Amino acid sequence: MAPPSGLHQAALSSDFETPFPPLVRSSTVPVGPKSHRTDPSHLAPEDAYSPVSPPRRTGLYNVDGSGSGSNAPNGSTNELRPRHIRRKDGSRSRSRRRQKRFQKLLWVKQSYPDNYTDQATFLEKLQRNPRVKPYDFWPLVADSTVIVQQVCSVIIFVVCFVGIFQERVSPVSVVGFGSFATFIGWLLWDWWVGEESLRAQGAMDGTTHSYRGRDPRPVRRQDSLGGPTRNASIVSLSGAEAGAGAGAATSTPASALPSAAPSPRPDQQLHIPRFSIGPTDSRSASIEPSTAAASRAGSRAQSVADFHEAHYGHHRHRSSTSSPIRGGGVIPGNSRLQLRLSTIKSAILIYFTLLGLSPILKSLTRSTSSDSIWAISFWLLAINIFFFDYSINNNPFTQATITNPHSNQTGGIVTGGSTPAPAGVAVRAVTGAGAATGTATPIPTLTSTSPTASGTSTPATGTRAVPGTSTTPTATGAPSATAISTATGGTAPIPTQHKFPIASLSTNAALMASTVLASRLPSTGQVFSLTLFSIEVFGLFPVFRRYARHRSFRYHLILTVLLLLGAGAGVGIIIGAPCPPPGTSSLSGIPTGAADIMLREDGIGMKGMEGMILLGGMGGISQCWQTWLKHSLLGMIVSCLIAALAMGGCSWWLIGLQKYKNEIYGPWDPARPIIISRRYYDDE
Amino acid sequence: MAPTYRIAMVCDFFFPQPGGIESHIYQLSTKLIDRGHKVIIITHAYEGRTGVRYLTNGLKVYHVPFLVIYRSATFPTVFSFFPVFRNIVLRERIDIVHGHASLSSLCHEAILHARTMGLRTVFTDHSLFGFADAASILTNKLLKFALSDVDHVICVSHTCKENTVLRASLDPLMVSVIPNAVVAENFRPLGYPSSTPPSSISIPTPMGLPPPHPSSSLTPPRRILGPHDPITIVVISRLFYNKGTDLLTAAIPRILAAHPNTRFIIAGSGPKSIDLEQMIEQNVLQDRVEMLGPVRHSEVRDVMVRGHIYLHPSLTEAFGTVIVEAASCGLYVVCTQVGGIPEVLPGHMTVFAKPEEDDLVAATGKAIAALRRNEVRTELFHEQVKNMYSWTNVAERTERVYNGISGAISEAEFYGYDHLKDRNGSNGWTAVTATRGMRSGVQSFALIDRLKRYYGCGVWAGKLFCVCVIIDYLIFLFLELVFPRERIDICPDWPRKKKVVDTRGEGGGLEWGDVEDYRRRSRPSRLR
């Protein structure tokens, strides 16, 4: 049983090698041979048996072929290269074989043994840390302010709860100042949006690059699930570019107005918080661009995409593209008025809903012991901090997609508030329903291929509110939406869709924490205040913060400092002894808490110090003022110190840790496909 | 007379489950048996397939009862396999344990126990792993554990070798590259004469290609494509993310739009097929894209011969047997330049693309244009591929590895120390001889030497691994006491006729190859 003679093989392979086009060097320049040891300080197995690893020596050659397999001839390099010293090989080392260059190829029969390791080409494509970009200290610190803001918000919320719980602060003052600050924030936001829309109208030209008409972005419309004003504003297709110049074609406010009877089932009503602030309300504005820029191809593709979404969309729920900023970029005066009106309307609705629900909320987890409540709320708030969407992205479109979830979730959460345990479930159902109904609308478009034709308006509120009816024919009855959905595929990138669930998790957790905490409060008014306040803090305030950061870094910084000071002062006061005797505490405690709140909320108003002094002068001055002032001052200083230490220290630490980074990349890694016409699929 | 060995192939993945590793093990085993070795296969029990089976040619398969957790990989219990394994090894008087596939915990355990029992071990790696994600990190650590004390490693491509060397911190010299092969007989182009009589195949042109005087009986007529003849592009792959289905989904409409008279045939199933279907509906391509769904391995050839171009958009691939099969069927191959794929086929059979949508479209366009100009002699591909890859060749090269680790080839010859001596003068030589006996080829079985090798695996892992090895050794001693060797029956070998080995070695009468063939024959030969 001798092995087959090498002669035959030799003949075969040498015949092989000649007729094929000669191989070429690869396109990549070899990096030179490297040690494969990743960590020289640790023992590797080969240290056990050989102090000298024989094959690993620096290569003599800087270039070697690696068989990229194209057809350019470069046979001449074979002769220029110094010959490799030949290894003996048992069966195949026939002396008449001429020594050839080792090639990293499998189809060539080579004159080298199988375990030959070519020093020039082995691991030539190994890359270490190719994508590492070093951090700089100050940008890192600046970026960490986002986290500080969120932590401070949570601290302030906790402080307010403690204040209410210990009856040092009147809940009415808390929620009053919170609402006041929210209102100011909204005004500011509205002003900013107006400014931006002016700028956008000047700058933008409705360039729509639809990619051969077959590039439907995964644009999701998000229906307002029974928010009566929203029915016609389902469309969300417009990129800001797409519709910038198209302001003239106003939407159909008639259908948008609350013609559909608001049958206030709880889940419908509860969705309104979504519109209680500006950002989400601008969705109606996105109608105009879509109608104006409607193009057949785009609409068709879109409808197909939506059809797809209607079927598969539950898995990949997308936040709507009806972004505040996108919409805001194109708002003409008329619809902005509409917008404001509807905002106010939603605010009032949510206010009264909450008022009605608060007795239920109060007794919901009453039977649970306080220890459990503290533990649960601690973990929920921790979840809120850890899963908050801190992504810094200056792209307004990104922002837009991010901001929506918050406002969206506020609605969902209140639903969950009635039953804290299934809150997440409720939210999921609600969002799923929104997705399904929203996308189900264009089905008639698909079949009839004349989207504008289906103009008969059916009040779709009833069917919409029912989750899971997306594919049933009843759910398709939002023809106005269909008509509007004839928009070109927006060209705006929609980058942050995956973040949606994370952000909603954070918001959900915080609102659930507030619901759970609210059950510790004795009176309905306190419960109402706390819940409303938590919606403001966790639902709306992040939107404002994000927008402020987008506007200018200076606002962001000011906001951070104010939040920090507020949180510090609040903690100082809470921790400090409750000095005032019971009689005076009720009197003077209120204004302090209020000032504290105001300070926290957005700092647009007065600063905490001024507020305290002002209120102190106003209220009955007691000795306590001094101690409280002292405590809050101390708290501020300490908080500033802690924040500076944490931000600086962590940044420095992170930079210091970079030297341990050792990423290895090579041809064995799965390639990252570059797909231009990326559609509706996510890559895992 | 070359030495013969008694080899145990150990892997979780074996027939009846279909797949590339499974057929690799089967083909290699039959070829090794043909070369006079004794081969048994140890795998875990599959449903309806338990106990001991004999396959064609006396290939014996032990189906060990084991808990299967995920995709027919067994649960990694480090020691529980030892008693059964020891029994089998002693019964069959195994010399060499050859494990396959880095995701098979059965294989890793077998290598550990085999070293404890003083056997030579070989490991074949079939897949590529990254270094970034958590799963890879864990797998790599386990691989490092298993391969700390292996005698030799075989990889299917050079890229795979680099990857394995990095993952397991191996000496590159103890890693051989031996590619997969195809049974070319099963992947004949359309109209190619079937060469079942061994006499006809024993004349294959040793001339290579392109044959100046092609033997008229073997070369099929050239297919001349007119400028408007339809060109069919075939894709056969599981429709997963890492197979590049996203790229495919993006590229198909553009390719079809740019090239009239082209159509696609897509075979395979997977989670991404929904995207493909969606793409087809959206672009109304139902008449130009045909989706066949899952096909059996035996039907792959029938699908392939319907096309002219094979498109392989995979994102990672250790070897890519399917493109060799496609080329063997006479298809022009368009593939992404990832993993080991660039090493597999010569440039005149393939068009490479970067894993980008644009480049894939462009490369396919290039291929279509080349076919339309009739520049590509696809009818010659089959003969060429047949000469490049054969299982007989793989078995020969594997045999050399066995020779090397068992000392039949001198260490110096196997690892090329003479080369070192020449280059380095006496210094290097003495350095190596000083550590002689601890070289990978002649890995010492002494426990302390083994512990030294395991200790280098990591700060904590090294100690943990050492503890494992010591426990394994204690179990071994215990088993020797409780189940002494003398009590274990020696299994008689499968009686065999003396076979005259075809000196040409390529193809011919030894091709048992076909999976279906195997199934057909194995059914009546159920002995126990």
Containing structural domain, residue A302: 156-182+189-241+263-551
Greater model confidence, B182 or A614: B182
Task: Round to whole Å and give the CA distance between B350 and B255.
Answer: 18
CA A660 to chain CA centroid, Å, is 29
Is A48's CB within 8 Å of B438's CB?
Answer: yes
Model pLDDT for residues A311-334, shown as the tens digit of each residue: 443 444 443 333 344 433 444 557
> Which of A393-407, B321-335, B385-399, B475-489 is the least confident region?
A393-407
Q: Does B421 touch chain A if contact means CB atoms closer than 8 Å?
A: no
> Which of B206-210, B243-247, B257-261, B460-464 is the least confident region?
B206-210
* CB-based contacts of A644, cutoff 8 Å, min separation 6: none
Is A20's CB within 8 Å of B347's CB?
Answer: yes
Is B173's CB within 8 Å of A681's CB?
Answer: no
Q: Does B195 touch chain A if contact means CB atoms closer than 8 Å?
A: no
B462, pLDDT greater than 70: yes
Q: How far is B356 from chain A (nearest CA, A)?
A: 4
- DSSP letters of B21-57? HHHHHHHHHHHHHHTT-EEEEEEEPBTTB-EEEEEGG
Q: What burial class does residue A401 get, using C-beta atoms within 10 Å of its C-beta: 0-12 exposed, 13-18 middle, 19+ buried?
A: buried
Cβ–Cβ under 8 Å, residues A619 and A595: no
B391, pLDDT greater than 90: yes
In a domain, A561, yes or no: no
By Cβ distance, the residue of B162, B274, B404 closest to A668 is B162
Q: Does B496 touch chain A if contact means CB atoms closer than 8 Å?
A: no
- Please compute the mean of the pLDDT values over residues A15-21 and round it to a whole number: 37
Greatest mean pLDDT range, A295-304, B70-79, B136-145, B351-360: B351-360
3-state DSSP: chain A helix, strand, coil percent, rounded to 5? 60, 0, 40
In a domain, A410, yes or no: yes
Which tokens in the block code for residue B244?
């590049």
Q: Does B528 touch chain A if contact means CB atoms closer than 8 Å?
A: no
By Cβ distance, the residue of B346, B354, B505 closest to A20 is B346
- Please compute the mean of the pLDDT values over residues A185-203 and round it to a whole number: 82
- Which residues of chain B make contact with A672, given a CB cutoff of 8 A? 315, 355
How high is the pLDDT of residue A33?
38
* Arithmetic mean of pLDDT over chain A: 59
Q: Quick one: CATH architecture of B6-181+393-409+446-499? A: 3-Layer(aba) Sandwich (3.40)
Q: Does B355 touch chain A if contact means CB atoms closer than 8 Å?
A: yes
* pLDDT over 90, % of chain B: 44
Neighbouring C-beta atoms of residue A366, cutoff 10 Å: 9
- Scored b (16 or more CB within 10 A) or e, A545-556 reads bbbbbbeeeebb
Is B171's CB within 8 Å of A50's CB?
Answer: yes
- Please compute the mean of the pLDDT values over residues B169-180 and round it to a whole number: 88
Domain map (residue ranges) of chain B = 6-181+393-409+446-499, 190-389
Which tokens in the block code for residue A116?
């030959």
* pLDDT over 70, % of chain A: 42
Is B4's CB within 8 Å of A2's CB?
Answer: no
A264: part of which helix (H) or strand (E)? none
Q: Does B278 touch chain A if contact means CB atoms closer than 8 Å?
A: yes
Cβ–Cβ under 8 Å, residues B271 and B243: no
Q: How far is A528 from chain B (nearest CA, A)?
A: 46
- Which residues of chain A make contact with B412, given a CB cutoff of 8 A? 88
Cβ–Cβ under 8 Å, residues B432 and A54: yes
In a domain, A454, yes or no: yes
- Which residues of chain B make contact with A677, given a CB cutoff of 8 A? 250, 254, 357
How high is the pLDDT of residue A498?
43
- Which residues of chain A make contact with B318, given a CB cutoff of 8 A? 668
- Which residues of chain A make contact with B388, given a CB cutoff of 8 A? 16, 107
Q: How far is A124 from chain B (nearest CA, A)?
A: 10
Q: Compute CA distances A138 → A141, A648, A655, B7, B294, whole Å.
A: 5, 9, 11, 63, 56
Which of B22, B9, B180 is closest to B99 using CA atoms? B9
* Arithmetic mean of pLDDT over chain B: 82
Residue in chain B closest to A303 (alpha carbons) equals: B282
> Which of A129-138, A452-461, B256-265, B398-407 is the least confident region?
A452-461
Confidence of residue B218 (pLDDT cuts 50, 70, 90): low
Into how many domains does chain A fold?
1
Q: What burial class does residue B494 get, using C-beta atoms within 10 Å of its C-beta: 0-12 exposed, 13-18 middle, 19+ buried?
A: middle
> Which of A65-74, A198-207, B417-426 is the least confident region?
A65-74
- Please compute the mean of the pLDDT values over residues B152-158 and round it to a whole number: 92
Task: Round to whole Å and give the CA distance between B57 and B133.
Answer: 43
Confidence of residue B219 (pLDDT cuts 50, 70, 90): low
Greater model confidence, B98 or A213: B98
A536, pLDDT greater than 50: yes
How high is the pLDDT of residue A578?
62
Which of B158, B465, B466 to mutate against chain A (most A CBs within 10 Å)?
B158
Task: Round to whole Å and give the CA distance between B513 and A573.
Answer: 83
- Please compute the mean of the pLDDT values over residues B138-153 and round it to a whole number: 87
Confidence of residue A126 (pLDDT cuts 50, 70, 90): confident
* CB-based contacts of B434, cutoff 8 Å, min separation 6: none
B234: part of which helix (H) or strand (E)? strand B231-236
- Please compute the mean of the pLDDT values over residues A401-412 and round it to a whole number: 36
Residue in chain B closest to A683 (alpha carbons) equals: B241
Task: Round to whole Å and give the CA distance between A354 and A361.
Answer: 9
A497, pLDDT greater than 60: no
How high is the pLDDT of residue B434?
33
> Which of A297-301, A426-430, B247-251 is the least confident region?
A426-430
Q: Do domains B6-181+393-409+446-499 and B190-389 have the same CATH topology?
A: yes
Q: Does B478 touch chain A if contact means CB atoms closer than 8 Å?
A: no
How high is the pLDDT of residue B303?
92
Task: Round to whole Å and give the CA distance between B225 and B2.
Answer: 51
A-facing residues of B in 100-129 (CB < 8 A) are 128-129
Q: Does B352 touch chain A if contact means CB atoms closer than 8 Å?
A: yes
Cβ–Cβ under 8 Å, residues B235 and B267: yes
Q: Does B423 touch chain A if contact means CB atoms closer than 8 Å?
A: yes
| Number of residues that make up chain A | 684
Neighbouring C-beta atoms of residue B514, cutoff 10 Å: 17
Is B502's CB within 8 Å of A675's CB?
Answer: no
Residue in chain A closest to B397 (alpha carbons) equals: A114
Greatest mean pLDDT range, A122-131, A232-241, A435-444, A617-626: A122-131
Task: Round to whole Å and give the CA distance between B322 and B334.
Answer: 12
By Cβ distance, the residue of A105, A663, A666 closest to B162 is A666
Task: Give one word for A33, left, alpha or beta, with left for phi > 0 and alpha for psi -120 to 50.
Answer: beta
By Cβ distance, the residue of B343, B399, B419 closest to A67 is B343
Q: Compute CA distances A220 → A319, A539, B84, B298, B331, whole Å.
A: 7, 21, 58, 44, 42
Model pLDDT for residues A463-487, shown as the tens digit of each residue: 333 333 333 333 333 333 333 333 3
Which tokens in the block code for residue A76?
């001449």
Q: How far is B505 from chain A (nearest CA, A)?
A: 6
Model pLDDT for residues A70-95, shown as the tens digit of each residue: 333 333 333 333 334 334 343 344 44
Greater model confidence, A488 or B241: B241
Task: Give one word for B484, left, alpha or beta, with left for phi > 0 and alpha for psi -120 to 50.
Answer: beta
A66, pLDDT greater than 80: no
Residue in chain B closest to A675 (alpha carbons) equals: B357
In a domain, A6, yes or no: no
Model pLDDT for residues A131-171, shown as the tens digit of each residue: 778 888 888 888 888 999 999 999 999 999 998 888 888 88
By Cβ distance, the residue of A26, A117, A305 closest to B172 is A117
- Please compute the mean of the pLDDT values over residues A371-375 and round it to a whole number: 92
By Cβ distance, the residue of B343, B355, B393 closest to A104 is B343
B300, pLDDT greater than 70: yes
Task: Round to whole Å and give the CA distance between B370 and B21.
Answer: 34
Is A89's CB within 8 Å of B413's CB?
Answer: yes
CATH match of B190-389 with 3.40.50.2000: yes
Is B456's CB within 8 Å of A71's CB?
Answer: no
Neighbouring C-beta atoms of residue B193, cutoff 10 Å: 11
How high is the pLDDT of residue A373?
92
- Please compute the mean of the pLDDT values over residues B449-476 and round it to a whole number: 89
* CB-based contacts of B313, cutoff 8 Å, min separation 6: B235, B237, B243, B244, B245, B247, B248, B251, B335, B336, B355, B360
* CB-based contacts of A419, cutoff 8 Å, min separation 6: A364, A426
In a domain, A598, yes or no: no
Neighbouring C-beta atoms of residue B312, cutoff 10 Å: 24
Q: Compute CA distances A161 → A171, A179, A302, A534, A593, whole Å.
A: 9, 16, 47, 10, 11
Is A48's CB within 8 Å of B449's CB?
Answer: yes
Q: What is the 3-state secondary structure (H, E, C) of A16-63?
A: HHCCCCCCCECCCCCCCCCCCCCCCCCCCHHHHHCCCCCCCCCCCCCC
Task: Round to whole Å and give the CA distance between B455 and A515.
Answer: 54
How high is the pLDDT of residue B396?
92
How high is the pLDDT of residue A25?
33
Q: Does B504 touch chain A if contact means CB atoms closer than 8 Å?
A: yes
- Please compute the mean of the pLDDT values over residues B163-176 and round it to a whole number: 88
Task: Round to whole Å and give the CA distance between B341 and A252.
Answer: 58
- DSSP letters of B57-68? GGEEEEEE---E
Cβ–Cβ under 8 Å, residues A320 and A236: yes
